Amino acid sequence: MNGIMIQGTASHVGKSMACTAICRLLANEGVRVAPFKSQNMTGRTVQIGGDLQISGAQASQAEAAKTVPRAEMNPIVLMPADDRASDIILLGKPKGRMVGMDYRNRFFETGMQAIRESLEFLARRYEAVVIEGAGSPAEVNLNDRELVNMRVARAADVPVLLVADIERGGVFASVIGTLDLLPEEDRRRVKGLIINKFRGDARLFEDGVAFLEERTGLPVLGVIPVMDSHGIQEEDSLGRRETERLHPDYDGWADHFRKYADWPEIRRLIGLPDKVPGP
């Protein structure tokens, strides 16, 4: 499979937005591209036809990718019913309610089967798949049966970019700590870093970039400034709904991302051939 996975040092660091930008950039280059998130916890789903539903974030990414949303782009949706239980939507259809421990113990094999079949479905129909993780891959108490981070990267056999949010503070500890907690097999799969939500003069972070690259051995493939005007549906559970609008500016956000990211290298990691220069 040609593709890439965007994972984060924590929730709400900008994984969804990075995936959205990559989907639109590839679509604008004429690449048939699909978004994918194996499992999303959200209070908002959208109907996509055939009485099926997926999360709003993946539907938005499909729109950015200029393709029809499909249940295989988000095979598992968890809709919280209370602090302990969630309603499960599997491949677009309701499958009942489970508490957290039952879901972890009883649903794992069913979920992995749906994930593998969905990845195979997308790989047959698209030239590239842009995969979004959830939370952090360093949740050591959950990793033996997780369905959304490194296990998915291994199933798809794609490289990983790690995104960190500098706006929150602690970006060095979050990046280095995340990488240090990964098993070596998964650590090798991470091919670059993206520092998101930067404010101010980027020259002030040049030493920070040099430190991260020296300390981790990984390239920083982008320091992305904050852009508040895109109006795109962000990650479902805590996205800033007040910024949404009827016509999201996918092209504006994608151009902004490309300006501050090493797009040729990201494209190479996806496994696509070099673009042929125009006349």
The sign of the dihedral angle between the CA atoms of 244, 249, 246, 86 is negative
Which of 115-119, 203-207, 231-235, 251-255 bottoms out in mean pLDDT, i.e. has the lowest?
Answer: 231-235
Q: Coil, strand or helix: which one is 45? A: strand
Q: Which CATH number goes with the domain that contains 252? A: 3.40.50.300
On whether residue 81 sits in a domain, the answer given is: no
Place of tokens 């924590």: 10
Burial class (CB in 10 A: 0-12, 13-18, 19+), 190: buried
On whether residue 86 sits in a domain, the answer given is: no
Tens of pLDDT, residue by residue over 39-55, are: 999 988 999 989 999 99
Q: Which two tokens stand for residue 5?
A: 């996975």
C-alpha to C-alpha distance for 251 and 254, rounded to whole angstroms: 5
C-alpha neighbours within 13 Å on the C-beta side of residue 33: 29
Q: Which two tokens stand for residue 177?
A: 């700590």
On whether residue 47 sits in a domain, the answer given is: no
- Model pLDDT, residue 274: 78
- Model pLDDT, residue 230: 78
On whether residue 84 sits in a domain, the answer given is: no
Q: Which residue has the higher pLDDT, 204 or 163?
A: 163
- Model pLDDT, residue 100: 80
What is the total count of domains within the chain? Answer: 1
Q: Residue 276: is its pLDDT beyond 60?
A: no
- The pTM score is 0.93
What average pLDDT score do residues 158-182 get? Answer: 96
On whether residue 275 sits in a domain, the answer given is: no
pLDDT band at 104 (very low <50, low <70, confident <90, very high): confident
Tens of pLDDT, residue by residue over 114-154, are: 999 999 999 999 999 999 999 999 999 988 899 999 999 99
Question: How far is C-alpha 214 from the chain's CA centre?
Answer: 25
| Beta-strand pair 3-8/160-165 | parallel
What average pLDDT score do residues 193-213 get? Answer: 94
Q: 198 and 224 in contact (C-beta within 8 Å)?
A: yes
pLDDT band at 29 (very low <50, low <70, confident <90, very high): very high
Range of the domain at 16: 3-39+101-269
Across the beta sheet with 93-99, the strand order is 39-41, 76-80, 85-90, 93-99
pLDDT band at 246 (very low <50, low <70, confident <90, very high): low
CA-atom Rg of the chain in angstroms: 18
SS3 content of the chain, % helix, strand, coil (to 5): 40, 25, 35
On whether residue 203 sits in a domain, the answer given is: yes
Tens of pLDDT, residue by residue over 60-83, are: 999 999 999 999 999 999 999 888
Q: Which two tokens stand for residue 25?
A: 């950039």
On whether residue 164 sits in a domain, the answer given is: yes
C-alpha to C-alpha distance for 150 and 148, rounded to whole angstroms: 7
